[in-house]
Amino acid sequence: MQFAQRLEKIPPYLFAEINQKRDKLIAQGIDVINLGVGDPDKPTLAHILQAMHEAINDGSTHNYPPYQGIDEFRETTAKWMERRFGVKDLDPIAEIISAIGSKESIHNTFLAFVEPGDYTLIPDPGYPVYRTSTIFAGGHPYVMPLKPENNFLPDTERIPEEVAQKAKLLWINYPNNPTGAVADLDFFERLVAFCRNYDILLCHDHAYSEIAYDGYKPPSVLQIPGAKDIALEFHSLSKSYNMTGWRVGFVVGNSMGIKGLSQVKTNVDSGVFKAIQKAAIAAFSTTEEQLQSLVSNYQNRRDVIIKGLQSLGWSIKPPKATLYVWVPVPQGYTSAEFTSLLLDKCAIIVPPGNGYGSQGEGFFRIALTIPEARMKQAIQRMRDAGIRYGE
């Protein structure tokens, strides 16, 4: 028995390794503070749970769902996109499809459009799935470096002409995982023009659209006139409504992109459980007050981490969005060395920046998904261990 050769090109999934380290330490009786995975620690909102209970008791939800999502889910999605972003006239049939969370739909998009030898343009650092799915599809990932001096935005002018000509997909993710960076409509407009020029499908992973702070509201790429001609946007309810385990999201935009994604889905999965779609419909009715109550919890945690790191010598600004703080390692350490130091001396787990690509070297990521008290404890452990920036 032998694995397919493609698996030799794909490293173990970063967070699977982190979970193994965590479990090993816990088994040894060590009190581990896990700042690694962006999995909300609060329960799903009550009105969503109530809708789920009612839907489960409805026998009509127990059979196979439509592959593309039930009509009510897609129609409600269109209304939410108009209410939230001002994006009008989305066709629920041709321009919207349900997803088993973002990860599934992202991967299936590569299968729908990438052939052996094609290029994909992916951010680095970035969500590891962009790279691994390229490899699964037989393509070549071409990295677009996200650098601090460019506000962690890719520079398309640095993409070689021969690469752009052979590229099928260009991936962006703003608000950004792992850097916490944000992008404005002018940036989206430039990318839409670039992708239209080279006939590239622009894919915007918008998983953190609702996790933003200090009054900031992230825009949608579909707000750009003509974006539907060339762009898909991927949304997940996981982070916005504390629904990571529910595995539900949606993709909106270009009708050919939706058609390709639909053709893959009909062959590899059987859609999202109808009851979960009913619960997702309830999530769309979440009030601004309810959402801000959820988000303010993360904002408070962000401030604890930022102030704590500043007290240890880091010169760092609070991110405007996401569940993450992207932090430079002290001079003299690699990302892996410093995260190992935190684990060995403080029993703190954080992922090294190079786990998100080579351009992430020199950073590590902190997730805002544990209580404030534990975050303060993590900062105190670092202080007690003599860990500071620049020393």
Output 77-83 pairs: Cβ under 8 A, ≥24 positions apart: 77/250, 77/252, 77/284, 78/252, 79/284, 80/284, 81/220, 81/222, 81/252
Per-residue pLDDT of 54-109, as tens digits, reads 999 999 999 999 999 999 999 999 999 999 999 999 999 999 999 999 999 999 99
pTM for this structure?
A: 0.95
pLDDT of residue 390: 77
pLDDT of residue 16: 66
The residue ranges of the chain whose pLDDT is under 70 are: 12-18, 391
pLDDT of residue 265: 93
Output the CA angle 27-28-31, nearest 5 degrees. Answer: 90
Per-residue pLDDT of 148-185, as tens digits, reads 999 999 999 999 999 999 999 999 999 999 999 999 99
CA atoms of 72 and 85, how far apart (whole Å): 20
Longest dimension (CA), the chain: 63
* Structural domains in the chain, sorted by start: 5-43+289-384 (3.90.1150.10), 46-284 (3.40.640.10)
pLDDT of residue 15: 60
Selection from 348, 373, 353 nearest residue 30 by Cα: 348
CA atoms of 330 and 349, how far apart (whole Å): 17
**DSSP designation for 117:** T
- The answer to whether 174 touches 183, Cβ cutoff 8 Å, is yes
